[in-house]
Structure 1
Amino acid sequence: MRFATYSADGETFYGAVTDAGMIALNDTFPQWPSLLDAVRADGLGQLEQAAQGRPVSHTDFQYDMVLPNARRILCVGVNFPDRNAEYKDGSAQPKYMSLFPRFASGFTGHDRPLIRPPESPQLDYEGEVAIVIGKGGRRIAQADAYDHIAALTLCNEGTIRDWVRHAKFNVTQGKNWDNSGSIGPWLVPFTDAAQLDDARIVTRVNGEVRQDDVLSRMMHPIRREIEYISTFMTLQPGDIIVTGTPTGSGARLDPPQFLKPGDVVEVEVNGIGILRNTVEDEAI
């Protein structure tokens, strides 16, 4: 079953996704005001049980960022061999992973537009798998790492490329423009290692495949990401780790091909779904 945060009739709901529409569940669980609260309470199984046999609540709705009140979103950069080679700096595979924070305000939902700001035309795409932590912990061993995952979702980790070059040691300002990326459409409960180990990421722009790779080729696999990150910070339920994007982002094409209004970007991962967004200029 899939779970989403969505808007309908001027209100925000969370619930189960069906082919016919949404089954609202937040009124059934007043102790969990948001989907994030349900994740933190290890409540996805209860949501699934509650949705069984329930009628559809909404057929006219908009997807929101799946966990819009997520407190901590940590992204892994340059995590595929070909992606490392794209930098053309002659560097070998790094011993340690690159990490940077993103904030929930930088993400919109499925089928909503990514926003290109007037300050830069260099809005780029990055298709990725994101994991949602369900069980917290510190210094988590790789062998136990998957036990700490509650759910999977998709991310288009939209980036304003020239703004990641404004400072010498960080990329934060290029990674956190409002509504420049998206996370969703929904959460898929994590139940089997094959959901990650056999996963393939495909990113398309206007139907053209730009990124295509498998998670098994990551330089720093997800088990290692959880181990490494939990070394220096205690992971908490509801934390999101965006696990890395393959080669093929627009900035690395020759010539570069950045997103423009009217473009349609799709990130697809087998077993999770398709995250789709259009592109619009910011209204000012």
Structure 2
Amino acid sequence: MTHPRFLSFSRNGHHGYGLAVEGGVIDLSARHGASWASLSDVIEAGRLVHLAEEGKALKPDFALDEIRFEIPIPSPEKIICVGVNFPDRNEEYKDGQAAPSNPSLFIRFARSFTAHGEPLMRPPESPQLDYEGEIVIVIGKGGRRIAEADAFSHIAALSLCNEGTIRDWVRHAKFNVTQGKNFDRTGAIGPWLIPFTDAAQLEDIKLETRVNGEVRQSDRTSRMIFSFRKIINYISTFTTLVPGDVIVTGTPTGAGARFDPPIWLKPGDVVEVEADGLGILKNTIADEVF
């Protein structure tokens, strides 16, 4: 089954959102921008599936190669990331500790991400830019202390993330990872926003990361230490989730830091993150001009 593919884009100075269909892009923002300025607003209004249905009767307004991708959810209130969420990833730490009983979490800022097709920026402060392919869930219905049994009813959509990390800055202080996770444009989200309608879209899908065509990470979501339901339940215990919130759910083993010697991303590299039903997020690497 092919799911609708929403996207945020810019074209000729116009920022909008639409549906990718055979032959191009349906500009939904031209039709509904007065009501919902962005996909975040569409999600908050609960109209994502409605617009997908509407799109079935429309023809594309322009070709896909005429647009520039933007991050699907441009300014979420929260971007919460889960660390160490696959069994082999926990073993990489070689600290003799069993898998944790609760998720490890950290926050990223929106400007630390860029869009599909845009370069990830290696900052001048460090050459240790690394990749982490992950699945993104976007909250559609807000809530606090959401039960695991109800968690999927709070998801509006799915996407992909390369949760790029500056490794030596993750350990710049005694116990935090904020710095290494938030250099501008070191990660990416996209290309699509896929409406979530069925548990089968998440519960056992393949997630893979490739660098220059070489498979570096590959695993299945059924092996995650903390399920998508548990993640939503746990996060909503301490903070109120709101429509448009982005949760990045963890990466498999195989990041560049775990090679001996480590293999860092360098300008010209091409990184692809792919998951069943969610498409391919593709970015090159470039040096940040400073």
Give the alignment's TM-score, normalised by structure 1.
Answer: 0.98
In structure 1, C-alpha distance between the alignment counterparts of 2:283 and 2:22, rounded to whole Å: 19
Cα pair 1:130 1:155 within 8 Å, conserved: yes
In structure 1, C-alpha distance between the alignment counterparts of 2:282 and 2:22, rounded to whole Å: 17
Q: Following superposition, which runs of at least 4 residues in structure 1 exceed 4 angstroms of deviation? A: none
1:150-174 deviation digits (Å, cap 9, x = unpaired):
0000000000111111111211111
The letter for the 2-side match of 1:14 is Y
Residues matched between the structures, number = 284
Match of 1:71 in 2: 77
Match of 1:50 in 2: 54
**Post-superposition shift, 1:35?**
0.9
In structure 1, C-alpha distance between the alignment counterparts of 2:277 and 2:166, rounded to whole Å: 29
1:187-219 deviation digits (Å, cap 9, x = unpaired):
110111011012110100000000000011111
1:229-272 deviation digits (Å, cap 9, x = unpaired):
01111111111110000000001111100100000000000111
Among 213, 221, 224, the alignment partner of 1:207 is 213
Match of 2:36 in 1: 32
Match of 1:193 in 2: 199
1:279 aligns with 2:282: no
1:38-86 deviation digits (Å, cap 9, x = unpaired):
1111110222133223222232111111111112100000111110110
In structure 2, C-alpha distance between the alignment counterparts of 1:77 and 1:20, rounded to whole Å: 39
Alignment of 1:96-107 (within 5 A): 96-107=102-113
1:145 aligns with 2:158: no
Match of 2:176 in 1: 170
Structure 2's unaligned 5+ residue stretches are: none
Match of 2:252 in 1: 246
Match of 1:22 in 2: 25
Cα pair 1:133 1:151 within 8 Å, conserved: yes
Match of 1:7 in 2: 10
Q: Percent identity?
A: 61
Counterpart secondary structure, 1:146: helix
Structure 1's unaligned 5+ residue stretches are: none
Counterpart secondary structure, 1:100: strand
**Post-superposition shift, 1:11?**
1.6
